[in-house]
Amino acid sequence: MDRKEVFKHAVAKMPAVVLEALEANGLHTGDIDLLIPHQANLRISQMVQRRLGLPDEKVMNNIDRYGDTTAATIPIALAEAVRSGRLGRGDLLCVVAFGSGLTWGFALVRW
């Protein structure tokens, strides 16, 4: 796969689906308490964060400690967020992933 094209696709689709989900639920990016993006590449996470206009404290990144743990990236980050108190009852959690075959997915969860 062409890494440059995959990067472009990821940083376009991930924020787009988050915005689509928020709009469908009458919400805005400011309503997100925590965003957990797939941890494939820190630059992708940073671009998604920037495009959504979210501050650092609203984005969970752990790729610096574990690297790309593939399908486990979101569950690992979620467990860390709960343990550390970054995610609490009633918070709006947004998870977004990008993977093989240029697929993507997302979820909004009222924790």
Confidence of residue 1 (pLDDT cuts 50, 70, 90): low
CA 100, CA 104: separation in Å to the nearest integer?
A: 9
pLDDT tens digit sequence for 48-71: 999 999 999 999 999 999 988 888
The domains of the chain are located at 3-110
pLDDT for residue 106: 92
CA 67, CA 42: separation in Å to the nearest integer?
A: 9
Taking the CB of residue 60, how many other CB atoms lie within 10 A of it?
A: 23
2.60.40.1180, 3.40.50.300, 3.40.47.10, 3.40.350.10: CATH of 3-110: 3.40.47.10
pLDDT tens digit sequence for 3-41: 788 889 889 999 999 999 999 999 999 999 999 999 888
Residue 2, pLDDT > 70, answer yes
Angle between helices 42-52 and 3-24 (to 10 degrees): 40
